[in-house]
């Protein structure tokens, strides 16, 4: 039987921030929705994240930001993805940041930013509607 295509998601934190409750909970809920989730954990660098995304050929890359570092790391991650031709990978971000930074982050290249408190169904629906293939 040809299995339906599984959506592969990479969830990660970046930099020194160690608040991982949200990333872990979202990972578990995406798994409950039938996705295959790789949780990369804390203290990742942009290069390491994109390398993992390539090797695992993920459909979605999700970054969790909770300590104000989103504007510093977003361009680095986006540029690393572009360098490696990962344009069809969906890039999403979640966490705590000023609302006014959200348009900036999306302009920098994030496909969708989800503020903390967003219900997981919203994230799931977005992924299913926008994932490649």
Question: Of 12 and 107, which has the nearer Cβ to another protein?
Answer: 12
Where are the strands (E) in the chain, listed by range?
A: 8-14, 36-44, 60-65, 90-95, 112-115
Contacts of 85 (CB under 8 A, 6+ apart): none
Residue choice 52, 79, 104, 131 for contact with another protein (CB under 8 A):
52
CB atoms within 10 A of CB 58: 21
Taking CB under 8 A as the rule, does residue 127 contact another protein?
A: no
Residues lying near another protein in the complex (CB under 8 A) are found at 1-3, 5-6, 8, 15-18, 20-21, 24-25, 27-42, 44-45, 47-48, 51-52, 54-57, 67-69, 72-73, 84-85, 87-88, 96-100, 115-117, 119-121, 124
């Amino acid at each position: 039987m040809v299995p339906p295509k599984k959506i592969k998601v990479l969830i990660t934190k970046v930099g020194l921030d160690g608040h991982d409750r949200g990333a872990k909970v979202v990972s578990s809920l995406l798994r409950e929705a039938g996705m295959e989730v790789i949780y990369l954990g804390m203290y990742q660098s942009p290069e390491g994240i994109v390398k993992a995304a390539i090797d695992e050929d993920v459909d979605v890359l999700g970054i969790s930001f909770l300590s104000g570092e989103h504007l510093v790391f977003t361009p680095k991650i986006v540029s690393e993805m572009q360098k490696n031709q990962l344009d069809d990978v969906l890039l999403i971000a979640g966490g705590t940041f000023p609302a006014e930074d959200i348009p900036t982050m999306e302009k920098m290249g994030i496909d969708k930013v989800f503020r903390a408190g967003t219900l997981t169904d919203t994230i799931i629906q977005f992924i299913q509607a926008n994932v490649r293939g």
